[in-house]
Amino acid sequence: MSLLITNISELVTNDPATGSGDLLGVRTDAAVVLNDGVVEWVGAAADAPAADEVFDAQGRAVLPGFVDSHSHLVFAGDRALEFQARMAGESYAAGGIRTTVAATRAATDDELAAGVARHVEEMRRQGTTTLEIKSGYGLSVVDEARSLEVARRFTDETTFLGAHVVAPEYADDPAAYVELVTGPMLEAAAPHARWIDVFCERGAFDEDQARAILAAGAAVGLKGRLHANQLGEGPGVALAAELGLTAVDHCTYLTDDDVHALRDAGTVATLLPGVEFSTRHPYPSGRRLIDAGVTVALASDCNPGSCYTSSLPFCIALAVREMGMTPGEAVWAATAGGAAALGRTDVGRVVPGARADLQLLDAPTHVHLAYRPGVPLVAHTWSA
């Protein structure tokens, strides 16, 4: 059944072929037709074809659904006390992940799935229609596999992150844990994953370990991505560029060489400003990356420890206020940029043939996402 959405004040298409000359491919006084889960037609409202049903946008803005390319939704437990301690002056370190590991291992599959469902619905109410979900709070063969099985119920963009931190029972023998991750754990996890990820950071995994884990994943068909340069300068971003990974996430502390390597490799820099908000670390410079020609994505990094937000509108507002990005650049990064970070061309755009994933704002333009921070502006979503 076809649906005509008309009387759109501003339609963000992310399509440079519109001829509008702007990054977002904005059309005004626009309409769009959805049919059988795809965008069938885009153009001026006055030229819109007939459809089975009509939705009047009442002079409001329509955007592609947000593409959240980095989240950790399969977990149990709560780390509010850890957040409270950070706000009182304690520093963030990767070791807090082990608190969530204990709670996640103790939870049933149904309990984990209920938590994911709650957060996915929370994201949808805030405009997210495509998301990636990582494992990483099981850190055992059984618990990593079942985490991915749960995640796969909600998205095809699942990531094996057995290399989040060294499991507590291997604290004195990290080499043995890397052997576990690249052997039995990978074998159990791979059928449920599209991606493999490593936290390449002090307190987690070094460059050689990350390289070995990514190579093992590639050998069984998993595409690679990295957490890198969150806590300080390090080798992770350069490694991601060297290996030609689709994306590398965090990118908070970058050298000029890191920036140039990302640009030359075409690796997407996924920025996670909710993390800096929640850890009081310096924000990465989106402006520096964009001016250098690096493709930038924005994602939530929703997790119970370092960033417990599911709101990409909040991340857009932070990117504009704290990272030197314009509202248009931030919206592009949370839609088309997120799609690029997942190697996708069927989402993050409103063009004929794309998935029918859109959102309606209770506002006349996309600028209001940053102009009115904290306000629930998403009035409706459509998702194929």
pLDDT per residue over 65-96, tens digit each? 999 999 999 999 999 988 998 899 887 655 57
Predicted confidence (pLDDT) per residue in 255-290, tens digit: 999 999 999 999 999 999 999 999 999 999 999 999
Instruction: Please give the pLDDT value at position 90.
Output: 81
Instruction: List binding-site positions for N-formimidoyl-L-glutamate.
Output: 137, 303, 305
Instruction: List binding-site positions for 4-imidazolone-5-propanoate.
Output: 79, 137, 164, 230, 306
Instruction: List binding-site positions.
Output: 70, 72, 79, 137, 164, 227, 230, 301, 303, 305-306
Instruction: List binding-site positions for Zn(2+).
Output: 70, 72, 227, 301
Which residues, 6+ apart, have CB-to-CB distance to 103 below 8 Å? 75, 76, 77, 137
CB 174 within 8 A of CB 164: no
Instruction: Please give the pLDDT value at position 89.
Output: 87
CB-count exposure of residue 282 (10 Å: 0-12, 13-18, 19+): exposed
Which residues, 6+ apart, have CB-to-CB distance to 82 below 8 Å? 96, 99, 305
Instruction: Please give the pLDDT value at position 95.
Output: 57
Instruction: Please give the pLDDT value at position 85.
Output: 87
Tokens read off for 17: 């072929």
Instruction: List binding-site positions for Fe(3+).
Output: 70, 72, 227, 301
Helix (H, G, I), strand (E, B) or coil at 281: coil
Q: Are strands 27-35 and 2-11 parallel, antiparallel or unpaired?
A: antiparallel
Instruction: Please give the pLDDT value at position 96.
Output: 76
pLDDT, averaged per 10 consecutive residues of the chain (384 residues), comes to 98 87 93 98 97 98 98 96 88 73 97 98 98 98 98 98 96 97 98 98 96 98 98 97 98 98 98 96 97 98 96 98 98 98 98 98 98 97 96
Instruction: Please give the pLDDT value at position 92.
Output: 65
Which residues, 6+ apart, have CB-to-CB distance to 240 below 8 Å? 224, 225, 226, 228, 247, 248, 262, 265, 267
